[in-house]
Amino acid sequence: MAASKKHRLRDSALRRLLFVLCVTLCGVLLLIFIFGSKSISRIEIIRNLDIADDGSSAYRRELKVSERVKLPKQNEMSLRLEKLNGLPPRNSDLYPNLAKDRIVVVLYVHNRPQYLRVVVDSLSNVVGINETLLIVSHDGYFEDMNKIIDGIRFCQVKQIYAPYSPHLFSNSFPGVSPGDCKDKDDAKGKRCEGNPDQYGNHRSPKIVSLKHHWWWMMNMVWDGLRDTREHSGHILFIEEDHFIFPNAYQNLQSLTSLKPKKCPDCYAANLAPSDVNSRGEEWPSLIAERMGNVGYSFNRTVWRKIHNKAREFCFFDDYNWDITMWATVYPSFGRPVYTLRGPRASAVHFGKCGLHQGQGENKACIDSGMMNIRVDDPDKVSNIESDWVVHVYKNQPGYKAGFKGWGGWGDDRDRRLCLSFATMYSIGTTSPV
Residues 345, 347, 350, 353: is their CA dihedral positive or negative?
Answer: negative
Neighbours of 203 (CB within 10 A): 27
The answer to the question of whether 349 is labelled as a binding residue is: yes
∠ CA 115-116-122, nearest 5°, is 100
The answer to the question of whether 356 is labelled as a binding residue is: no
N-term to C-term CA, the chain: 70
**CA–CA distance, 335 with 292 (Å, rounded to integer):** 16
**CA–CA distance, 412 with 89 (Å, rounded to integer):** 36
Region of 74 please: left (phi>0), alpha (psi -120 to 50) or beta: beta
In sequence order, what are the beta bridge partners of 239? 108
3-state secondary structure of 297: strand
- Per DSSP bridges, beta strands 133-138 and 104-109 are parallel
**CA–CA distance, 418 with 415 (Å, rounded to integer):** 5
DSSP letter at 118 equals H
In sequence order, what are the beta bridge partners of 328? none
Neighbours of 42 (CB within 10 A): 16
- Outline where DSSP puts E strands in 31-172: 104-109, 133-138, 156-161
∠ CA 350-277-263, nearest 5°, is 110
The answer to the question of whether 227 is labelled as a binding residue is: no
Rounded to 10°, the helix 143-150/113-124 angle is 10
Binding residues for substrate: 139
Binding residues for Mn(2+): 241, 349
Binding residues: 139, 241, 349
